[in-house]
Structure 1
Amino acid sequence: MNNSSNHDERIAKMTFASVYPHYLTKVEKKGRTKEELQSVIEWLTSFDEKKLQELIEEKVTFEKFFEYATLNPNASLISGIICGYRVEAIENTLTQKVRYLDKLVDELAKGRKMEKILRVS
């Protein structure tokens, strides 16, 4: 991926709290629930609802958000294109993690089954 360091820095400094409402709106518009979104986020990051709410209230950056997260070992199974980039080819680790989350939210909004989104065999 030919990504500029400016782009990576901008993503790192963006707060999760500023993006979360957009995730929620996107999935609810497509008939999915806040609970399903929580499941997807928890699968990727290990944050339960209480911890996620704390991070939103603290207005943590994506850099801190993923620093605190325990990434699911199957996260590397997330593949495909999001925001014009192939997620498995993103070189910056943090940017890739953020795009993993974007991809999961996108799959949820597109009506994909939870088993597939959560990479259950």
Structure 2
Amino acid sequence: MSRIFRMSVASVYVHYVAKAERKGHTKDEVDEVTRWLTGFSPAELEAHLADGTTFEDFFAAANLNPNAPLITGVICGIRVQEIDDPLMQKIRYLDLLVEEVARGKKMASILRS
């Protein structure tokens, strides 16, 4: 099992927000893409972050957006659509969405709408 599966989402989330903010974007945008991917309400997302939920439990509780398979691209040198492990693929989907926020991609495009 990958070490990241047992890491808390909150421990990585702070880096997601910092990355977006460094590039002139906001925590709200990171929250929006995270909620879009997971189906969590704002309160549910905040509860998972406050409780230190692991990535494994976070995505087990999520109702993954049906358009998530439309997320394609390369993150950390790996094409997300070619990742075999379902949990790792979901984590990389989130990584890629945050990367797209940081790069200033339009939200409608990021949310595959």
Q: TM-score, normalised to structure 2's length?
A: 0.96
| 5+ residue gaps, structure 2 | none
Verify: 1:80 aligned to 2:102, yes or no.
Answer: no
- Within 5 A, what are the aligned runs for 1:35-46? 35-46=28-39
Identical counterparts, % of pairs? 52
**Distance in 1 (alpha carbons) for counterparts of 2:112 and 2:2:** 29
RMSD: 0.8
Give the alignment partner of residue 48 of structure 1, picking from 27, 41, 44.
41
**2:84 and 2:4 mapped to 1: Cα distance?**
14
**Which deviates the most, 34-43 or 83-92?**
34-43
Structure showing greater Rg = 1
1:57 matched to 2:50: yes
Q: In the aligned structure 2, how far is the partner of 1:60 from the partner of 1:50? A: 14
* 2:111 is aligned with 1:118: yes
Q: Which amino acid aligns with 1:82?
A: I
| Structure 1 equivalent of residue 3 of structure 2 | 10
Q: Which residue of 2, 26, 29 corresponds with 1:33?
A: 26
Runs of 4+ in structure 1 off by over 4 angstroms are: none
Q: Deviations over 1:20-63 (max 9, x none)?
A: 10000000111111111111011100112211111111111100
Alpha-carbon distance in 2 for matches of 1:18, 1:55: 11
- For the residues of structure 1 that align with 2:33 and 2:108, how far apart are their CA atoms? 10
Q: Name the structure 1 match of 2:90.
A: 97
Ranges in structure 1 where 5+ consecutive residues have no aligned partner? 1-7
